[in-house]
């Protein structure tokens, strides 16, 4: 009963450990979804950047650059027109597009860094849970092995009965002495040992121990 209780306790711990692992796997799946979302955002930003780069030469070809302002005469209405052309040459719309792209890339990098930290924590947690799971399975294997073990003393009891019957049939006085009854062996091995051990004991009684009169004559104790 003590071993069964121990086995049930280990099985309960294994169920808990499995639940923790399943929960960690669910968290890993969510982190994977975050990474996939980040990848999608990166692809979109890359496409936007490519489109912006392709459109830039066309815009630049027809735009006014600040260096062109030196060719415009100063003063009056011409000066106002020069200022307007100068502001147009700064191409603020294109600057805004590039700033948005840069900000988007920075946000994606920050998100990926956060997801990487979560992933590292989850990997450490899964590693700890796996070590615990391995410890529990090892302990369970040992307990199952112990559950198959039986004291060899139970086999000695069968031998003692056979000794009494064999000695009575042979008209001899025999006393069985044994030790190590608490040593445990696998139940299957114990069953395989039973017949050879009984055969050895019967041979010992029949051929290894003299009759009572002969033992007395040789100066031995009456009991073999």
pLDDT in tens, 102-111: 777 778 777 8
pLDDT computed for residue 67 by the predictor: 44
Q: Identify the H or E element spanning 81.
A: helix 76-89
Mean per-residue pLDDT of the chain = 76
pLDDT in tens, 54-78: 776 544 444 444 444 444 444 445 5
> What mean pLDDT comes out for the span 128-134?
82
DSSP structural state of residue 207: I
Closest CA to 221 of 172, 178, 157: 172
Closest CA to 181 of 146, 202, 157, 163: 157
Residue 39 CA to residue 75 CA, distance in Å, equals 54
**In the structure, what pLDDT confidence band is assigned to residue 50 with cuts at 50, 70 and 90?**
confident
Whether 126 and 24 have beta carbons less than 8 Å apart is answered as yes
**In the structure, what pLDDT confidence band is assigned to residue 2 with cuts at 50, 70 and 90?**
confident
φ/ψ region of 180 (left if φ > 0, alpha if ψ in -120 to 50, else beta) reads left
Whether 92 and 59 have beta carbons less than 8 Å apart is answered as no
Residue 175 CA to residue 182 CA, distance in Å, equals 20
Residue 166 CA to residue 154 CA, distance in Å, equals 19
Residue 82 CA to residue 63 CA, distance in Å, equals 13
Residue 28 exposed, middle or buried by CB count within 10 Å (0-12, 13-18, 19+):
middle
User: With pLDDT > 90 as the criterion, what percentage of the chain qualifies?
Assistant: 2
Report in angstroms the alpha-carbon separations of 45 from 41, 93, 114.
6, 17, 19
Query: 164 or 46: whose pLDDT is higher?
Result: 164
Residue 65 CA to residue 162 CA, distance in Å, equals 116
Rg (CA), the chain: 46
pLDDT in tens, 204-219: 998 889 888 888 888 8
Least confident of 26-35, 91-100, 146-155: 91-100
Q: What's this model's pTM, rounded to 2 decimal places? A: 0.41
């Amino acid at each position: 009963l003590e071993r069964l209780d121990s086995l049930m306790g280990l099985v309960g711990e294994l169920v808990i450990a499995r639940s923790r692992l399943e929960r960690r796997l669910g968290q890993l799946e969510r982190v994977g979804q975050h990474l996939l979302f980040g990848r999608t955002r990166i692809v979109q930003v890359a496409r936007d950047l490519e489109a912006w780069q392709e459109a830039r030469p066309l815009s630049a070809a027809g735009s006014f650059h600040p260096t062109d302002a030196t060719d415009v005469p100063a003063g009056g209405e011409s000066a106002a027109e020069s200022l307007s052309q100068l502001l147009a040459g700064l191409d603020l719309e294109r600057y805004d597009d590039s700033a948005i792209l840069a900000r988007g890339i920075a946000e994606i990098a920050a998100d990926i860094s956060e997801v990487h930290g979560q992933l590292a924590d989850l990997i450490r947690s899964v590693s700890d849970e796996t070590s615990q799971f391995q410890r529990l399975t090892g302990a369970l294997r040992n307990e199952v092995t112990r559950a198959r073990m039986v004291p060899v003393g139970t086999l000695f009891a069968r031998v003692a009965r056979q000794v009494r019957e064999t000695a009575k049939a042979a008209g001899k006085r025999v006393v069985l002495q044994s030790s190590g009854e608490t040593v445990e062996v696998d139940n299957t091995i114990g069953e395989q040992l039973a017949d050879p051990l009984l055969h050895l004991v019967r041979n010992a009684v029949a051929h290894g121990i003299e009759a009572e009169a002969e033992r007395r004559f040789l100066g031995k104790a009456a009991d073999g």
